[in-house]
Amino acid sequence: MKLTVAVIAKQCVPGRVKTRLTPPLIPEQAAALAQTSLSQTLETVRSLPAARRLLVFEGTPQPGDAAGFEVFAQGAGSLDERLAAICALADGPLLILGMDTPQLCRDQLAPLLADWATPAPAPHRGAWFGSASDGGFWALGLHRPDGGLLRGVEMSTPQTGAQQLDRLARAGVDVGLLPVLTDVDYFADALAAAQQCIGTPFARAVERLRRGLPAAAMPLVVPSGAVPTWGALR
């Protein structure tokens, strides 16, 4: 399959990444958990049947993270501009992923992989879209990458996913839907994501952090779309 998978990410510096995990975590813990999420995501991407794997990065990636990836610096501008710029790096079908869904596994991408692996002239979906439970999205696949399908979409709002889907629909793109996943923004999200990938480095890291927190620091409100699984981890 002539598929390019691009992960957009940034260096996990305390105080500059995953700040909504604090509290209950301290900045160093939040950054370490973000790094675990990133590394686990990249390991999953290494397992995909891709012709090219890109790491589009802000900062300097760890050598282990860069292994097996072509590393590109993120472009300038707002997030929609930076995502749009990734389209110019691919010469065939493109799947863009973030670093905030460590529960990602190959099975969740199976519909896209099966669709785009079908030989021509069989019809293919023009795009595949993975919504996030907070209203954003965790995956965007474009069979014919076009930055114009992203530029101008307002990012990081509860309406981002809906706006992006509307943009694709207005362009006449046939969109397939991937499962809804929870972005890890708050610690309640991390607890929910860990329950979906038990036994992984991310789940073990979350469990160590959870055990170190006083009961009063545990989240009492679970973000919309997340599963209140923190009690099951006790």
Per residue in 174-222, pLDDT (tens digit) is 999 999 999 999 999 999 999 999 999 999 999 999 998 765 455 544 4
Q: Are residues 49 and 10 in the same domain?
A: yes
Domains identified in the chain, total number: 2
Rounded Cα distance, 188 and 25, in Å: 11
- Domain range for 217 is 187-233
pTM metric for this prediction: 0.89
The overall average pLDDT reported for the chain is 90
223 in the same domain as 127: no
Q: How many residues does the chain have?
A: 234
Using a 10 angstrom Cβ sphere, with 0-12 exposed, 13-18 middle and 19 or more buried, the burial of residue 232 is exposed
105-129 confidence digits (pLDDT tens): 999 999 999 999 977 767 689 999 9
Decide: 90 and 6 in contact? Cβ < 8 Å.
yes
Residues 68, 82 within the same domain: yes
Indicate if 60 and 176 belong to the same structural domain.
yes
Residues 221 and 156 in one domain: no
At 106 the three-state DSSP class reads helix
Phi and psi at 39, nearest 5°, equal: -60, -40
Among 140, 157, 181, identify where a domain stops: 181
Nearest to 102 by CA among 13, 203, 20: 203
Mean pLDDT of 22-27: 95
177 with 203, same domain: the answer is no
CATH number at residue 86: 3.90.550.10
Domain end, chosen from 159, 181, 203, is at 181
Residue 84 carries which DSSP code?
A: H
pLDDT above 80 for 224:
no
Last residue of a domain, one of 137, 158, 181: 181
Assess whether 160 and 63 both reside in one domain.
yes
Please list, in sequence order, all residues whose beta carbon lies within 8 angstroms of the beta carbon of residue 145, skipping any fewer than 6 positions away. Answer: 86, 87, 88, 90, 93, 94
d(CA 183, CA 225): 10
Q: Is the domain of 55 the same as that of 169? A: yes
38 has a pLDDT exceeding 80 = yes
State the average pLDDT over residues 67-92. 95
**176 and 200 co-located in one domain:** no
Q: Please check whether residues 157 and 201 belong to one and the same domain.
A: no
Looking at the fold, whether 163 and 177 belong to one and the same domain comes out as yes
pLDDT at position 132: 95
Helix (H) or strand (E) holding 40: helix 27-46
Residue 60 sits in the same domain as residue 150:
yes
